[in-house]
Amino acid sequence: MTDDNLRETAVARRPTSRREFLERAAGLAATAAVRVPAPGKIASGAGGSILAYVGTYSSPEGPEGSVGRGQGIYLFEMNPGTGQLIEREVFPAPSNPSWLALSPSRTHLYAASETSTFEGANSGSVSAFSINRRTGRLTPLNTVSSEGAGPAHLSVHPSGRWVLVANYAGGTVAVLPIEPNGELGRATDVRHDAGAVGAAHARSAPPGSFAISGHDRPHAHMIESDPAGRFVLHSDLGMDRIFVWKFDADKGRLEAHHPPFVSLPSGDGPRHFAFHPNRRWLYSLQEEASTLVFFEYDATQGKLTARQTVSTLPAGFQGTNYTSEVRVSPDGRFVYAANRLHDSIAWFSVGERGELAWAGEVWTRGDYPRSFTLDPTGNFLYSCNQRADAIVTFRANRQTGNLTFSGKYTPVGTPAIMVFLA
């Protein structure tokens, strides 16, 4: 059977449901590690190996009405020559540690638990772990409130002093201080997204799309500072906006900025964004419209200016799709974007002025790519296929951007995010 035949068969089997949070879960307090027997020692960088962590949906009631089949946070060793992943340990966490971020020093890991029941409040949580740099083993430090239900994204400020978290179900963003020992403190700032929401149907969606989801109320979906750390940006899917804040890195405060946001077309649903390595360009991915918008970014004024909009889907596509992740290759030559339901990763070449040109797409070999990650060298791309319970490895051509299936599947229950310790 050819790849095209396989793809057509997979498309026929794809589900068409969409995200509806079912956010009852246990706390992220479980701390014991389950060791997976493996020969030899693990070392980050030693012997050519690279370590990586995978966050999963682990609650009996996971996202979109599905069952979370992950066990918590997984530790893998990656062979940089072949891209093969070898499971080393699992750190149990039954409360959906679905997003992970590393400190700039790579000495601590922070995990957002996508729940709404932390300490009996309508909130999720964020947990801190110290990292043994030689083995990758995690030691739990503490867990604090994310200050909103269903945290879907977090990042660490470039200073290494603050964790920024976006609470999708709660419609809030929060700043959490990092103590000298890596533990997290109580939030120094919490902001509630408030205002009108966009249209139920995306203005820019493909013909025949039934992509409706998060325009019932505000939904903060991503938060990250600009590379210099002076401004913090966060997307709100329900309000179709990317907010820009001045950031007080001494007090951990988000301060009003003018203009306070840029708007995307009504109903398009900005989800994730990614900065180009040159720090002057930003690419925003719209979940319900299946588009990428290229913005020029003025780092001195914290200003975004839209320059181009392209579809993440092949020409002629009709029907429903939800995008999930956008990444820029380490050398800045290509932008990659993932499509759910269409179950593909598209790539675009980056022009001299930042503009995008369609270059190709590849089937993810599994349902619902929740996110994907490029390894530190840019030679491999890993797709976290949530509903297929596997991470699929692709070899990336650094000259053309082309993705080629490596033949390697790594079984992981409902994988959500992968980060490399490098």
pLDDT digits (tens, 9 = 90+) for 39-66: 333 334 445 789 999 999 999 876 666 7
Q: Say what percent of the chain tops pLDDT 70.
A: 87
Q: Yes or no: say if 24 and 59 are a contact pair by the CB < 8 Å rule.
A: yes
pLDDT at 65 (0 to 100): 66
**Average confidence (pLDDT) over 172-189:** 98
pLDDT in tens, 80-92: 999 999 999 999 9
Where are the chain's structural domains? 3-24+116-129+138-414
pLDDT at 49 (0 to 100): 83
Quickly state the pLDDT bin for 321 (edges 50, 70, 90).
very high
pLDDT in tens, 27-42: 333 333 433 333 333 3
Least reliable range by pLDDT among 22-36, 71-85, 396-410: 22-36
pLDDT surpassing 80 at residue 229: yes
Radius of gyration of the chain (CA): 20
Q: Which of 133, 326, 169 lies closest to 146, judged by CA?
A: 169
Q: Yes or no: say if 247 and 234 are a contact pair by the CB < 8 Å rule.
A: no
Q: Which of 82, 78, 83 lies closest to 53, judged by CA?
A: 78
| Residue whose structure tokens are 């929401």 | 197
Q: Yes or no: say if 168 and 252 are a contact pair by the CB < 8 Å rule.
A: no
Please list, residue by residue across 309-320, b when 16 or more beta carbons sit within 10 angstroms of its beta carbon and e when fewer do: bbbbbeeebebb
Question: Whole-structure pTM over 0.85, yes or no?
Answer: yes
Rounded Cα gap, residues 71 and 48, in angstroms: 28
Side-chain-side CA neighbours of 31 within 13 Å: the count stands at 10
* Tokens linked to 156: 């660490």
Give the homologous superfamily in CATH for domain 3-24+116-129+138-414: YVTN repeat-like/Quinoprotein amine dehydrogenase (2.130.10.10)
**Number of neighbouring beta carbons within 10 Å of residue 32:** 8
* Tokens linked to 306: 């839209």
* Tokens linked to 6: 């396989």
Task: Report the SS3 class of residue 30.
Answer: coil
Q: Is 399 exposed, middle or buried (0-12, 13-18, 19+ CB in 10 A)?
A: exposed
